[in-house]
Amino acid sequence: TPPPVAAAPAEPPAPANRIVLRATQEAWVQIRDTRNGTVVLSRILQPRETYEVPEGGGLVLTTGRAEGLTVEVDGHASQALNGLVGVKRDILLDPARLREAAPGQAPTR
């Protein structure tokens, strides 16, 4: 008799969004798609609230309180917003650029 056939492995879970914004203070955020100008998100995040940034590229972040946000890339804190205060515009939401950013050196377009 032939050996038993192993069951096919289960489908791997869908990958989580690579970039997550986490509010440490109340902070207004706007995410815009630079390819077509569409506003993807415009709201105030409350402390401890998170937002998973959609995949696909071309997105930029504007915030009214940079000190109230942290950015995580692939589950690791980015240093991009460290030390920044107040309004910051057109921060590129690019995983590689955010991961490599020096403290307070948020990549902009």
pLDDT tens per residue, range 34-47: 999 999 999 999 99
Order of strands across the sheet that contains 88-92: 39-45, 27-33, 59-63, 88-92
Among residues of the chain, what percentage have pLDDT more than 90? 75
The first and second tokens of residue 34, run together, are 């630079």
64 pLDDT band (50/70/90 cuts)?
A: very high
Residues whose CB falls within 8 Å of the CB of residue 50, separated by 6 or more in sequence, listed in order: 20, 21, 22, 23
pLDDT tens per residue, range 82-104: 999 999 999 999 999 999 999 98
> What whole-number distance in Å separates Cα of residue 23 and Cα of residue 99?
18
In the chain, where the domains are located = 25-100
Residues whose CB falls within 8 Å of the CB of residue 104, separated by 6 or more in sequence, listed in order: 79, 80, 81, 82, 83, 84
Stated pTM of the model: 0.82
